Amino acid sequence: MSKTTIPTGGITADAINGTLIADDAINSEHYTDGSIDTAHIGDSQVTAAKTSGVGGTAKLLQVKVSDGTATSYLTHDNVFSATYDFYKLIGFTNASAVDGNLRFRWRSGGSDISGSYYRGVGQGVNLDSSGSETATLNVARYNDSVFDLTDTTNNNNNFGDLFEITLAGMFDRDEGLIATLKASINQFRSNSNYRQYQYGGFYANQGANENYDGFKLWYSNANVQYYSYAVYGFNKW
């Protein structure tokens, strides 16, 4: 049986519907730019894995516990990768006791990076209930096994820490950057005082092929309770 070619001008509007299109007959080469808008994308169809390597921002982790359940520390593995250039850890934690200072450590392959090569320095300011600056707080560590992000002395009455931590250099070190941290922490205190810290540091003994995929967050002398935080990945371009 011979076939007849029908010119496009001979096809009336709406003459071809879904029942006349064979399965898998239309693929990406048949889509024109802008032909698929958000109304044609199903719920939950675009995931972080499908946007890998295309730039932009992705939420990689989200945790919230608001019932007062306490834990000794918060650990997460397989969060960081070479997919993103920078990461932000943003959230709030509350210490179960009043004398805990907030601590951070990187992890790799399910274990803590606990060598004595954490080097960091920070400064905080205490504002009392009268609005007066009552103390300048210095936080410094050289070849320690952990980052102490808040003051380690006279740290009683800690009522919770709101933090934004920027992380980089855990994987891609083409530009000479090693595992680096920058943190901003607002500390609320039960005696109506308020503290603000700025902290920066790095891990000085990261090998050329060592990649840090996780982190640990906890308090000295206290458990963590009432915590809520998320991790986001960012690309430069």
Residues 187-219: tens digit of each pLDDT: 877 666 788 999 999 999 988 778 999 999 999
CA angle at 108 for the pair 228 and 123, rounded to the nearest 5°: 55
Q: Which two tokens stand for residue 63?
A: 């945790």
Which residue has better confidence, 185 or 126? 185
Nearest-angstrom CA–CA distance, 231 and 71: 19
Q: How many CB atoms lie within 10 A of CB 100?
A: 22
Helix (H, G, I), strand (E, B) or coil at 5: coil
pLDDT tier at 179, thresholds 50, 70, 90: very high
Residue 43 pLDDT:
67
How does pLDDT run across 19-52, given as a tens digit for each residue?
A: 767 776 777 666 776 667 666 676 666 665 555 5
Which residue has better confidence, 188 or 78? 78
DSSP state of 46: S
Nearest-angstrom CA–CA distance, 87 and 209: 20
- Domains of the chain as residue ranges with CATH: 12-40 (no CATH), 57-234 (2.60.120)
Give 59-126 as a DSSP string. EEEEEEE-S---BSEEEE-S---TT-SEEEEEEEEEESSTT--EEEEEEETTEE--SS-EEEEEEEEE
The average confidence (pLDDT) of the chain is 83
Decide if pLDDT at 56 tops 80.
Answer: no
46-60, 69-83, 205-219: which has the highest mean pLDDT?
Answer: 69-83
Q: Structure pTM?
A: 0.75
Residue 18 pLDDT:
64
Is-contact 188 162, C-beta < 8 A?
Answer: yes
Q: Across residues 142-169, what is the average pLDDT?
A: 82
Question: Containing H/E element for 22?
Answer: none
124 contact partners, CB below 8 Å, separation of at least 6: 136, 137, 138, 139, 150, 151, 185, 187, 195, 196, 197, 198
pLDDT tier at 157, thresholds 50, 70, 90: low
Residue 24 pLDDT:
67
